[in-house]
Amino acid sequence: MATGFYWDEKCFWHSGGNYALTLPVGDFVQPLAAGGLPESPETKRRLKNLLDVSGLANELQMRSADPATREDLERVHPKAHLDRFKEVSDAGGGELGLRTPFGKGGYEAATLSAGLAKEAVRAVLAGELDNAYALSRPPGHHCLPEWPNGFCLLANIAIAIEAALAARQAKRVAVVDWDVHHGNGTEAIYYDRDDVLTISLHQAHNYPLDTGDIEDRGRGAGLGYNINIPLPPGAGHSSYVQAMNRIVLPALESFNPDLIIVACGYDASAFDPLARMLATAETFRVMTAQMMASADKLCDGKLVLVHEGGYSEAYVPFCGHAVMEELSCSTTEVPDPMAKTLHIRQPDARMEGFVVELIDEMAEIFAKTAGSG
């Protein structure tokens, strides 16, 4: 099993602005001791460090990549917007959208982040790797073509997909987004198209507040090719596994993609400051195994995970390490130090039953409005 891990120290040097979590520091908002956005480099760096310390990094093909080119970017983002982004970045930084501050060099960090995703997709589709993980930073799944949003400066996954389609490496791509926040940017980019299936599992009405509803199924040629699975706060491990089994995996099988990409956020974990779900490291391990089985069945194992959110510096590394163990079929073991505690904190049978019933109702709705394939 050849598993690629794409990362670059320069992505860790991307800087945000003066926020206290998601609140701009101002007259009545005091700066936090740590400073800046929760989207800090430490969750990503500590994941990479844990891979090194455990020895798992030695089993992976550790790679970097060139930044995405201007041609790559313009397949998704308008030229005028990119020009403005570069201008503000060169002038010392600023903010062009909502909760997307960046410092000097933010443009270059974002193009490198997109480049990691693009190269991971290229290498897997070319057969150079069985699967791959891109430790992209800044993230991308909230970014609209002309509007950065929610820490996301460029649409990393869409840029990677469009490069693969342009190179005729693939014709149909599925994106499964298990970041706890709705993947509104990816959804918007492909809402009218039937060559990219977009699926988002997220905490209902967390962020953005006004997107991610079950009824949003696509438009025109894309009708039926967008699936939103909004889960109630505290849904827990079993709910994610059931949502994958009842909705995600059947949708992938019906679509029959050439490649599966996972927007891999870890902010559904029980210790995330920006969400209220109860996913564990084991949740992410199991979902990775489910994605690998689906990819093996549908597209010769072609699977790429692209890092998105996740803001617990202490716990994200364990979630990510579990994913990488599964993805690479490694026997390296890093035990989750919070496994017993989180097992006890999972929803009781009544709550689980309620969420499973909700998932079953959503599955019926999606089955009736599925794309023609």
Catalogue the active-site residues. Answer: 142
What is the per-residue DSSP string for 244-308? IIIIIHHHHHHH--SEEEEEE--TTBTT-TT----B-HHHHHHHHHHHHHHHHHHSTT-EEEEE-
Residue type, 361: E
**Contact (CB, 8 A) for 13 and 133:** no
Rg (CA), the chain: 19
Residue type, 209: L
Q: Tell me the sheet residues that pair with 4.
A: 61, 132
The two three-digit tokens of residue 14, written as one number: 């991307």
CA atoms within 13 A on the CB side of 93: 16
**Contact (CB, 8 A) for 208 and 142:** yes
Judging by DSSP bridges, how do beta strands 93-95 and 101-103 pair with one another?
A: antiparallel
The span from the CA of 303 to the CA of 305, in Å, is 7
Convert 314-328 to b/e letters by CB count within 10 Å (16 or more is b).
ebbbbbbbbbbbbbb
**Contact (CB, 8 A) for 155 and 140:** yes
Tokens 């803001």 found at: 311
